[in-house]
Structure 1
Amino acid sequence: MFSEEAILNELTFKAIRSSGSGGQHVNKVSSKVELTFNVLVSLVFNDGQKERILIKLQNRLTKEGVLILQCGESRSQHKNKELVIQRFIALVKDALKVPKKRKPTKVPKSVIKKRLKSKRKQSEKKSNRQKPDLD
């Protein structure tokens, strides 16, 4: 599909201050990691793959075709970097999946016969309720 090592070279990371609990620690340490990836400039994907990524991730991309992911779950910058890389790879793999074509199935003959038989039975039931024609 694609080389994960090659794609890691195209990623840009930026450490920023994380919000949330942590007291004084959160004010002095940049533990949140922001990953940026420019889809249009990427050398790992061919044009078809880029087009598929742009379509599937259109609501996550900027106008310039840049994907931005952030992770600040852990207090460790290294752990956040690993988590954001895992999310990115899962997101790209999911975007590149080609859905299977649906093969329309034929209705089995037994199902058609059963339906027609029940219709005929219902018709006979209704016709038996009518007054007999004496002419």
Structure 2
Amino acid sequence: MLTISNSVTIADWEIDISQIRAQGSGGQNVNKVASAVHLRFDIQSSTLPPIYKERLMALSDQRISKEGVVIIKAQSYRTLELNKEDALARLKALIQSAGKQQKMRRPTKPTKGSQRRRVDHKTRKGKTKSLRGKVSIS
């Protein structure tokens, strides 16, 4: 079982992890490639809450196909167990990123009020700066 958050968990039967064997004659990285793992997770048939499914499908990620299947390849470690853990951690991070609500972006154009305040501040600052060091005789 993979726990994403307090309310979201994924059962083991929903995640398909297969070991990929190296093809070809080998070389220096035979052990590394021989322990490669492909993790397959179907978003649509999973028990995730609907909001997670919608956000995952809306993500622009190469690992998510149009049909809603997540495929994660892990082969950076020499042992199969470490590669499985790495693939599960990446799936968890992907689902967690979909669970977070996107922050509202600041409007690209400043408001009229903020523009006015900025100009007022600049001119006031410029006036005091130009009068610095000058003595007024009255």
Instruction: State the alpha-carbon separation in 2 of the partners of residues 114 and 95 from structure 1.
Output: 42
User: How many residues matched?
Assistant: 116
Structure 2 SS opposite 1:107: helix
Q: Does the C-alpha gap of structure 1 residues 57 and 89 become closer, same or farther in structure 2, counting only changes over 3 Å? A: farther
1:21-36 correspondence to structure 2 within 5 Å: 21-23=28-30, 25=31, 30-36=34-40
Aligned equivalent of 2:91, options 88, 92, 100? 88
What amino acid maps onto 2:100 in structure 1?
A: K
SS across alignment from 2:54: helix
Identity of aligned residues (%): 28
Determine the structure 1 residue equivalent to 2:63: 60
Higher-Rg structure is 1
Structure 1's unaligned 5+ residue stretches are 119-135
1:70 aligns with 2:77: no
- TM-score scaled by structure 1? 0.66
Q: Which residue of 2 aligns with 1:98?
A: 101
Q: Tell me by how many angstroms 1:65 deviates.
A: 1.2
**Range with greater deviation from structure 2 (53-62 or 91-100):** 53-62
1:86 & 1:55 partners in 2: Cα distance?
A: 21
* Match for residue 40 of structure 1 among 39, 44, 53: 44
The separation in 2 between residues aligned to 1:80 and 1:3, in whole angstroms, is 23
Q: Does 1:10 align with 2:14?
A: yes
CA distance in 2: counterparts of 1:39 and 1:54, whole angstroms: 8
Letter in 2 for 1:52: R
Verify the 8 A CA contact 2:72 2:91 in the aligned structure 1.
yes
TM-score, normalised to structure 2's length? Answer: 0.65
Task: Report the RMSD for the aligned CA atoms in angstroms.
Answer: 3.4
Equivalent position amino acid for 1:107 in 2: S
What letter corresponds to residue 3 of structure 1 in structure 2? V
- For structure 2, the 5+ residue unaligned runs are 126-138
Amino acid at match of 2:16: T
1:9 to partner: Cα distance: 4.0
Using a 3 Å threshold, how does the CA distance of structure 1 residues 22 and 54 change in structure 2: closer, same or farther?
Answer: same
